Each structure stands twice: as C-alpha cells, then as structure tokens.
C-alpha cells in the first residue's frame, strides 16, 4: 500500500487575482477521518473546493489514492472515487428524497443504483419515511443526511464534507457526527470541515488548524483537544 488516500502538497488557489491558499500540505490516510477547522474566511471551503476541482489550483499537487489529479474537473474526481458535500445548497430542494438519491447514483447501473439507495435508507431510516417528500421541506438534520446519503451512493473512497452540522438543531449535531464516525465500517476516508470543532474532534483521528490560508498546526485529535492555546483560539475556550 502506498500512502495516503488523499494528499495535498504545496497547494495554492484563489479566486482570480485573490490568493486564498498559500502552500497547503495535508493528507488523509486510508480510512482515516480528518478534521479541518479555523476561523471564518480561513480558506477551509476553498481548500475542499481546490481538492475536488471546483477551484483550479495555481500551484502544488493533489493526489488521490496515489494518482495525481491536480486540476481535474469534479466529474473526473468523482470517477476516481472522490465525493463532496458542499456547505450550502447540498440537495435539490424541489426534487423528492428518492430523486435526489437517484442523482447520486446516476453513473451506476439501474440495479446497482437501487441496491445502493436501499442500503442508504437502511443507514438513514428517516429518508425512507420521507422518500416522496421534496428535499426542500426536510429539517436541517434530515437534509444533511440526504446530502450525505447521496454522496455515498457511488461508494467513494474519499468523502469531503463541508460543515455537515450546519443548519442542524444543536441536540442533533452529535447524531450527525456519530453517523459520519459510523462510516468507518465502510473504510471510506473522510476530510471534514466543522465550526463545531470541539465536538467534531471527539469523532475524528487527526486535525488541521487552517488560518489565513495556511496550516497553522496539525496533530492528533486528542492532542488538539488538550492544547490550551488551540482551545482558547478556536474551540471556544
Ligand atoms: N467565489 C469567490 N470569489 C471571491 N472570493 C471568494 C469566493 N469564495 C470565497 N471567497 C473568499 O475567500 C476567502 C476564504 O473563503 P472560504 O469560504 O474558503 O472560507 P472558510 O474558511 O470556509 O470560511 P467559513 O468558516 O465562513 O465557511 C474569504 O475571504 C472569501 O470571501
Ligand atoms: Mg466554509
């Protein structure tokens, strides 16, 4: 086995003349769950977009399961086993739950798609109860589950999650993290961004602190939770 499931080396990216990422080095090991956190505007979403090919890197490399994929379009990333759940607009609001799941399996054979949808409904039973409901009428938590289920349908090897607890009622946030953590059984590697960083750190293996488009610190989740300075600055004391 040769190393990381996902790796960024010296990654730089931005929007037109505006540079946001300044030489990011990070990796996610096979089956590893990794958290990225840091202040608003640090470049967390931009990092995930650059990894997924939604923002073109201006320097550096992205490697997926040992294959260089730098600058490929999102379709190419999906074909190679990457999946991405955006921070906002992560479901088609006017379509039903079932239709959203079908889109997630658009590249699969019909039989395989139906089997995967059934598996996702087993994993997220509430989606089965809501299958004919428009996604836009789901609660925040149900909507995140749908977005997660849709991304998982093609059985990605690497899952990128941009704030899966956003819009979820506080008492259900833990449930979302437990669902993500439960995906360890499937062997999928996870790179997750979260504002609820203290809580999220309890469910991942390692973390990176991103600030001003640079990695300020990376360590095991345990060490980050014990780090007083990180606690003060980024984890709400
Ligand atoms: N499409 C865009 N065009 C120009 N600037 C952008 C664009 N998207 C983001 N930015 C800018 O890039 C910087 C980083 O944004 P990004 O969304 O990556 O931060 P973030 O760390 O995810 O923040 P948050 O915690 O608020 O989600 C911000 O200053 C933002 O205004
Ligand atoms: Mg963001």
**CATH number, domain containing residue 208:** 3.40.50.300
Q: Is residue 63 part of a domain?
A: no
Residue 8: other Cβ atoms inside 10 A: 25
Task: Please compute, for residue 120, the number of CA atoms within 13 A of its CA located in the half-sphere on the CB side.
Answer: 28
Q: pLDDT truncated to tens, each residue of the chain (237 aa)?
A: 458 999 999 999 999 999 999 999 999 999 999 999 999 999 999 999 999 999 999 999 999 999 999 999 999 999 999 999 998 878 999 999 999 999 999 999 999 999 999 999 999 999 999 999 999 999 999 999 999 999 999 999 999 999 999 888 888 899 999 999 999 999 999 999 999 999 999 999 999 999 999 999 999 999 999 988 888 888 876
Residue 129 near residue 70 (C-beta atoms within 8 A) = no
Q: How confident is the model at residue 228, as a pLDDT?
A: 84
What is the residue with the minimal CA distance to atom 2 of ligand 1?
A: 15
Q: Domains in the chain: how many in total? A: 1
What is the residue with the minimal CA distance to atom 1 of ligand 1?
A: 15
Q: How confident is the model at residue 1, as a pLDDT?
A: 43
Residue 68: other Cβ atoms inside 10 A: 12
Ligand in closest contact with the CA of 44: 1
Q: Is residue 94 part of a domain?
A: yes
What is the residue with the minimal CA distance to atom 26 of ligand 1?
A: 40
Q: How confident is the model at residue 165, as a pLDDT?
A: 93
Domain membership of residue 178 as a residue range: 30-54+70-234
Q: Is residue 9 part of a domain?
A: no
How far is the centre of ligand 1, averaged over its atoms, from the C-alpha of 108 (Å)?
33
Q: Is residue 198 part of a domain?
A: yes
Q: Could you give phi then psi for residue 139, rounded to 5 degrees?
A: -70, 165
How far is the centre of ligand 2, averaged over its atoms, from the C-alpha of 150 (Å)?
20
Q: Could you give phi then psi for residue 6, rounded to 5 degrees?
A: -140, 135
Q: Is residue 17 part of a domain?
A: no
227: tokens are 């780090």
Q: Is residue 197 part of a domain?
A: yes
Nearest-atom number in ligand 1 for the CA of 47 is: 18
Q: How confident is the model at residue 69, as a pLDDT?
A: 97
Q: Is residue 1 part of a domain?
A: no
Q: How confident is the model at residue 71, as a pLDDT?
A: 93
Buried b (16+ CB within 10 A) or exposed e, 74-100: eeebbeebbbbbbbeebbeeeebbbeb
Q: Is residue 43 part of a domain?
A: yes
């Amino acid at each position: 086995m040769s190393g990381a499931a996902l790796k960024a080396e010296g990654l730089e990216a931005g929007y037109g003349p505006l540079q946001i990422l300044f030489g990011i080095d990070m990796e996610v090991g096979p089956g590893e769950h990794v958290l990225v956190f840091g202040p608003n505007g640090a470049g967390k979403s931009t990092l995930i977009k650059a990894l997924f090919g939604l923002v073109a890197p201006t320097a550096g490399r992205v490697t997926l399961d040992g294959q260089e994929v730098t600058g490929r379009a999102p379709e190419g990333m999906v074909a190679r086993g990457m999946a991405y759940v955006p921070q906002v607009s992560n479901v088609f609001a006017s379509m039903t739950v079932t239709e959203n799941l079908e889109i997630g399996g658009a590249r699969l054979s019909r039989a395989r798609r139906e089997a995967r949808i059934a598996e996702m409904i087993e994993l997220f039973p509430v989606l089965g109860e809501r299958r004919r409901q428009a996604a836009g009428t789901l609660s925040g938590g149900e909507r995140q589950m749908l977005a997660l289920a849709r991304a998982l349908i093609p059985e990605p090897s690497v899952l990128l999650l941009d704030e899966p607890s956003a819009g979820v009622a506080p008492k259900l946030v833990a449930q979302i993290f437990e669902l993500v953590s439960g995906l360890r059984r499937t062997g999928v590697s996870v790179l997750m961004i979260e504002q609820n960083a203290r809580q999220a750190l309890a469910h991942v293996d390692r973390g990176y602190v991103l600030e001003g488009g640079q990695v300020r610190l990376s360590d095991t989740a345990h060490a980050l939770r014990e780090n007083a300075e990180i606690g003060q600055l980024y984890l709400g004391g």
